[in-house]
Amino acid sequence: MDFSIKSQASKNKITSLKTACLVVGVFENKKLSDAAKEVNLHGAIDAAIKSGDITGKPGSALLLRDLKGVEATRVLLVGLGEENVSEKAITSAAQAAARHLNGLGASDVTLSLPVAKTRDLSWGIRQIVLAFNEAIFRTDAYKSKKDSIAANVKKVHILVSEKEATAAKAALTHSIALVNGMELTKQLGNMPANFCTPSHLAATAKKIASEFKMGIEVLERKQIQALKMNSFLSVSAGTDEPPKFIVLKHMGGKAKDAPVVLVGKGITFDSGGISLKPGAGMDEMKYDMGGAGSVLGTMRAIGEMKLKLNVIAIVPTCENMPSGSATRPGDIVTSMSGQTIEVLNTDAEGRLILCDALTYAERFKPAVVIDVATLTGAIITSLGHHTTGLFTRHDEAHDKLADELLAAGKEANDVAWRLPIGELYNEQLKSNFADIANIGGPAAGSITAACFLERFTKKYTWAHLDIAGTSWKSGAAKGATGRPVPMLTSFLVNRAK
């Protein structure tokens, strides 16, 4: 799909715009948006509202054809709710337009929507790009017969005034980079584990590196062994699929600037290992590389944006499978940091691969490290599928980082909520036989998981995002969401300013 900004000199009329479909908004109180007023030459829109054909409620839409005095072949009215245009109204209107237009014959469409009261034009442009991309996203890559919903829209023009054009174009470039990153994340998350292997993630990272001129290193088993990442390797022990340790570097900032390091959990399938998971829904554990997928998606986004910031992605990736060579409950492993870990449950494997990656991150003398992981089922119990769990230490530097991430999430419609960590929770990780146990009992599962990770991050400023709930949708519309690419991308864009 091809997006562009069309700037309109104020002397030119919308009515003389040649397009297969013009999209304008109407309000619930029967009033028209400025664009709709212009098109309402002979009262056709008033008549449509009066007859009750469109309510103006957010999400409602009505198609009109051949309006007298209007060059556009079609006019699509979309509901905007109250005149005090809300964020929700803009997202609903953009989604309604995208959904509606996909079933029509129109191939080039032009949108002229107002700006939400609490946001700017750039935000609105992003919502349009997101909505149109979402509407054409398909999960039929492995189906012999492709889903037959028409996706006829080829060109989407967003109408802005001349003085807004420069800012709008910059916003559009960013939005397109963002959706391309999210799309990669979604594809990787949906891809079955027999295709999305650690080797596939490594190949994907290499592709990003060559396309966007980044540095890339993929460490193989021998090198991982040499680094003494025995905790990571213990998770991989039960499978024939070789583990990979991916390091992808976007050095868009000054050479001496400390990098932001993103660490993504890349379990390409989590069977639970010897602590085998129950069968129902186990297929969904193919998305246990959602952290890795979102880190790679974010790198793709900032690569396309040519962001002026140093960002390094680290992805430890392997499968967690049971077999005669698998790690057993009770086994003790020595992590790269030297801390010994008693593996009381082989299903708490995410922290076992992340801890070694977090130790490896030290060598980059990072400005901050953010790890992203589908770490615990417990975070779904706490926050559901709407909100990502955010964890950091409780001091000034970390409070600041937390606020930065929370604000980025709000800005990007990809929200997080901070939960506590600390000494009392850490006590739950005591082991009789090793320095630390890999589980902390049934209470506060997401918090004790974060506390486990925290022990490997003492040398830098760190935050942890638990995305088990937000990176995936269950049920009928099952699939990866592309989160938290929007939050991470906004965070990095703000840091580059």
Catalytic (active-site) positions: 277, 351
Is-contact 429 339, C-beta < 8 A? no
Query: What x-and-dash track marks residues 453-482 binding ligand BES by CB under 6 A?
Result: ---------------x--------------
Is 239 a binding residue for ligand BES by CB under 6 A? The answer is no
Query: Which residue has 């992805």 as its token pair?
Result: 315
Residue 451 dihedral angles phi and psi, to the nearest 5°: -65, -40
Stretch that binds ligand BES, among 62-70, 299-307, 370-378, 488-496 (CB under 6 A): 370-378
Residue 277 CB, nearest approach to Mn ion (Å): 7
Q: Which is nearer to ligand BES, 60 or 335 (CB)?
A: 335
Integer Rg of the chain from CA: 25
Is 347 a binding residue for Mn ion by CB under 5 A? The answer is yes
Residue 377 touches which of Mn ion, Zn ion, ligand BES, none (Cβ within 5-8 Å per kind):
ligand BES
Stretch that binds Zn ion, among 224-232, 282-290, 333-341, 444-452 (CB under 5 A): 282-290
Query: What x-and-dash track marks residues 338-377 binding Zn ion by CB under 5 A?
Result: ------------x---------------------------
Which token pair is 208?
């990003």
Distance of alpha carbon 183 from alpha carbon 136, whole angstroms: 11
The amino acid at 273:
G
What is the rounded (10 degree) CA torsion for 489, 95, 191, 475? 120
DSSP-assigned letter for residue 140: -
Residue 440 CB, nearest approach to ligand BES (Å): 7
**Using CB under 6 A, which of 56, 350, 482, 484 touches ligand BES?**
350
Query: What x-and-dash track marks residues 265-284 binding Mn ion by CB under 5 A?
Result: -----x--------------
**Using CB under 6 A, which of 28, 241, 304, 347 touches ligand BES?**
347
Residue 376 touches which of Mn ion, ligand BES, Zn ion, none (Cβ within 5-8 Å per kind):
ligand BES
Residue 322 CB, nearest approach to ligand BES (Å): 13
Residue 380 CB, nearest approach to ligand BES (Å): 6
Distance of alpha carbon 267 from alpha carbon 360, whole angstroms: 18
Distance of alpha carbon 291 from alpha carbon 383, whole angstroms: 17
Which token pair is 390?
């955010």
Alpha helices (runs of H) in 105-220, residue ranges in sequence order:
121-136, 165-190, 198-212
Q: Is 18 helix (H, G, I), strand (E, B) or coil?
A: coil
Each as own residue / partner, the long-range contacts of residues 61-65 (CB below 8 Å, 24 or more positions apart, any chain) are: 61/96, 61/97, 61/99, 61/100, 63/21, 63/100, 63/104
Q: Which is nearer to Mn ion, 197 or 275 (CB)?
A: 275
- Output the 3-class SS for 387-453: CEEEEECCCHHHHHHHHHHHHHHHHCCCCEEECCCCHHHHHHHCCCCCCEECCCCCCCHHHHHHHHH
Is 288 a binding residue for Zn ion by CB under 5 A? The answer is yes
**Using CB under 6 A, which of 69, 192, 215, 377 touches ligand BES?**
377
DSSP-assigned letter for residue 223: H
**Using CB under 5 A, which of 134, 183, 241, 270 touches Zn ion?**
270
Which token pair is 21?
């479909």
Instruction: From 185, 392, 212, 437, select the one nearest 291 (Cα to Cα).
Output: 185
Q: Which is nearer to ligand BES, 20 or 375 (CB)?
A: 375
Is 376 a binding residue for ligand BES by CB under 6 A? The answer is yes
**Using CB under 6 A, which of 75, 439, 480, 493 touches ligand BES?**
439
**Using CB under 6 A, which of 291, 409, 445, 486 touches ligand BES?**
445
Reply yes or no: is the peptide bond before residue 114 cis, omega within 30 of 0: no
Is 349 a binding residue for ligand BES by CB under 6 A? The answer is yes
**Using CB under 6 A, which of 28, 134, 164, 270 touches ligand BES?**
270
Contacts of ligand BES in 150-189 (CB under 6 A): none
Q: What are the residues binding Mn ion (CB under 5 A)?
A: 270, 347, 349
Q: What are the residues binding ligand BES (CB under 6 A)?
A: 270, 288, 345, 347-350, 374-378, 439, 445, 468
